[in-house]
Amino acid sequence: MSLTDRTKPTDVSLNTDLYELTMAQGFWETGLGSSEACFNAFFRENPFGGGYGIACGTGQIADLVENFVFTDEDIEYLSGIVAPGGGPLFKPDFLEYLRGHRLDLTIDAVPEGEVVFPREPMVRVMGPVIDCQLIETALLNLVNFQTLVATKCARVVKSAEGHPVSDFGLRRAQGPDGGLAVARASYIAGASSTSNVLAGKIYGIPVFGTHAHSWVMAFPTELEAFCAFAMSSPKNCCLLLDTYDVHQGIQNAIACAKEMEKAGERLSAVRIDSGDLARLSKDARKAFDEAGLPYVKISVSNDLDEYTIQSLFAQGAPIDSFGVGTKLATCDQQPSLGGVYKLSAIRASADEEWRPVIKLSEQAYKRTIPGVQHVLRFYDEVGCPAGDMICQEGIEPQTDEMIDILDTFQSYDLTGEPKELLVRVVYHGQAAATSTIEEARERCKTAIMHLDPAITRFLNPQTYPVGLELGLAKLRQDLSAEERRSSGKAVI
């Protein structure tokens, strides 16, 4: 099977964990398939030990839903799966139900590029319980990784202090799909460009790249290599200095730049990919300035992340741009967001009231919030986020007080104007709103700019207030006590 065939849009229906399908069959067979459910996707802890996350991937949810269909080829494959105990795993009538089935879901989500925080719904999915279950894995796969990458890149961009950051991570990414996700999420989070040409084609992201060490090694001398590249790409000439010796590379780049000036062209930049980047960039800047070439920019790469870049500037490194690859593409230090998808309410039909449900656990941090939820974000007088209140759908908060989402003894009094955080992206299986990647990028820039610096700092960030509306807090407490009584456990 070719790469194109493997990634055709309709493959999303089988891009799932098997238990989604076995549960769907169970719901169908027991008659619960017509019941409606409400699920929430969220993460439990801020990634990278930071104070926030950047929502990403939510802008592709509508495409996921609209392309989610089981083809004849899919049904044929599923019919051939054998159960561990023998015989077909799936019943023929259930497979016929799936054939051509379309998801009748209504989905609300945090817009891409917006800041998000632990335990508040990032995506709310409502509809037939079978449909909600079928989309779980694909939705988490879409949102988890891109949110993680966007958050990582936002931190890198912050450390770069306004200097361009280019995504160089394709060759180290987790496969071609991972490379595309990295390029897309990084651009939304503020990266200026990507080396990934396919991502440039698909998403309209600016692409950037010049030459590698192999170009220099292919010529008899480094100077010949530089001059040949300058002649080949005079409008895109960034010379890599560290194939042999950086200081000699600087002198060869100066000689090349002088020749380019004679031809009416300019050397754009040089790049250093190894060694003491702070010291070498200072040496390069001094040499180019003394040679009358102050316009030549200095770019660096080599396993960079937010901490390395922060350190380089602390040392006074005169660096103009950064190529960030491995540690961005692999989300170094935290390979997974840990986002989950939990049932919070169910009803027998659309005509009935929702029945809130709660998941208790031996581990307190895994306990869920019941009911159909939405999120109000409160803004202070200058438009900065002051706190997020999780509320029950259809019930207006009677007070601006909320209970901390983890600590029931902690409450907050919010002030300012509230704004609904979740927006409708899918309505009964059809796209309800569209947002471009450029709009998401601008949203991210604005969101981080308005966030308290105490929350965006890397070391010991301040915790952003997220809590429950008083009625929802009481509902969670009451349901928890009820479930414990019914299970025979002591109620505390």
- Residue at 110 is within a domain: no
- pLDDT at position 2 is 37
Q: Which residues have a Cβ under 8 Å from the Cβ of 447 and sit 6 or more positions away?
A: 54, 113, 114, 115
Residue at 298 is within a domain: yes
pLDDT digits (tens, 9 = 90+) for 59-84: 999 999 999 999 999 999 999 999 99
| Shared domain check, 322 and 228 | yes
208 with 297, same domain: the answer is yes
Supply the pLDDT for residue 489. Answer: 61
Distance of alpha carbon 441 from alpha carbon 437, whole angstroms: 6
pLDDT in tens, the chain (492 residues): 333 344 455 578 999 999 999 999 999 999 888 899 999 999 999 999 999 999 999 999 999 999 999 999 999 999 999 999 999 999 999 999 999 899 999 999 999 999 999 999 999 999 999 999 999 999 999 999 999 999 999 999 999 999 999 999 999 999 999 999 999 999 999 999 999 999 999 999 999 999 999 999 999 999 999 999 999 999 999 999 999 999 999 999 999 999 999 999 999 999 999 999 999 999 999 999 999 999 999 999 999 999 999 999 999 999 999 999 999 999 999 999 999 999 999 999 888 999 999 998 777 778 899 999 999 999 999 999 999 999 999 998 988 999 999 998 999 999 888 999 999 999 999 999 889 999 999 999 999 999 999 999 999 999 999 999 999 999 999 998 888 777 666 544
Q: How far apart are CA 155 and CA 149, in angstroms?
A: 10
CA–CA dist 448, 158 (Å, integer)? 9
Residue with tokens 């390979």: 335
For CA atoms 433, 439, 443, 444, the dihedral sign is positive
| Structural domain includes residue 131 | no
Does a structural domain hold residue 458?
A: no
Secondary structure of the chain: what % helix, strand, coil (to 5)?
40, 20, 40
Task: Please return the burial class of 241, using the count of CB atoms within 10 Å of its CB with bins 0-12, 13-18 and 19+.
Answer: buried
Nearest to 156 by CA among 196, 190, 199, 193: 190
**Within-domain flag for 382:** no
Residue 314 belongs to a domain with what CATH number? 3.20.20.70
For residue 14, the 8-state DSSP code is G
384 in helix, strand or coil? coil
Q: Are 53 and 46 in contact (CB under 8 A)?
A: yes
The answer to whether 131 and 70 are in contact (CB under 8 A) is: no
User: Would you state the pLDDT for residue 7?
Assistant: 46
Q: In what order do the strands lie in the sheet with 417-420?
A: 411-413, 401-404, 466-469, 385-392, 373-379, 417-420
**pLDDT for position 324:** 98
For 180, residues 6+ apart whose C-beta sits below 8 A from its C-beta are: 196, 198, 199, 202, 203
Tell me, yes or no, whether 233 and 91 share the same domain: no
| Domain match, 216 and 301 both | yes
The reported pLDDT for the residue numbered 365 is 73
Region at 193 (left for phi over 0; alpha for psi -120 to 50; beta for the rest): beta
Nearest alpha-carbon partner for 291 in 323, 245, 260, 322: 260
Residue 321 and residue 174 share a domain: yes
- In the block, residue with structure tokens 């496969």: 175
> What pLDDT does residue 10 have?
53
Using the 3D structure, point to which of 285, 303, 329 is the last residue of a domain.
Answer: 329
On whether residue 5 sits in a domain, the answer given is yes
- In DSSP notation, 28-61 reads HHHTGGG-EEEEEEE-SS-GGG-S-EE--SGGGH
- Which pLDDT score is estimated for 83? 97
Domain of 186 in residue numbering reads as 152-329
Which of 305, 329, 353 delimits the end of a domain? 329
Residue 169 in any domain: the answer is yes
Do 167 and 310 reside in the same domain of the chain?
yes
pLDDT at 487: 67
DSSP state of 269: E
pLDDT at 484: 76
Same domain, 95 and 194: no
Does residue 118 lie in a domain region?
no
Pure H helices in 300-436:
306-314, 326-329
Cα gap 384→115, rounded to integer Å: 12
Classify 392 as helix, strand or coil: strand
Q: Are residues 76 and 163 in the same domain?
A: no
Q: Are residues 309 and 186 in the same domain?
A: yes
Please count the structural domains in the chain: 2
- What tokens does 417 get? 């104007």
195 lies in the same domain as 288? yes
> 176: which 2 tokens?
């071609």
Burial 44-83 (b: 16+ CB within 10 A, else e): eebbbebbbbbbbbbbbbbebbbebbbeeebbeebeeeee
What are 299's two structure tokens? Answer: 């770019």
Query: What are 456's two structure tokens?
Result: 């965006």
Among candidate residues 295, 314, 329, the one where a domain is terminated: 329
Cα distance between residue 206 and residue 192, in whole Å: 7
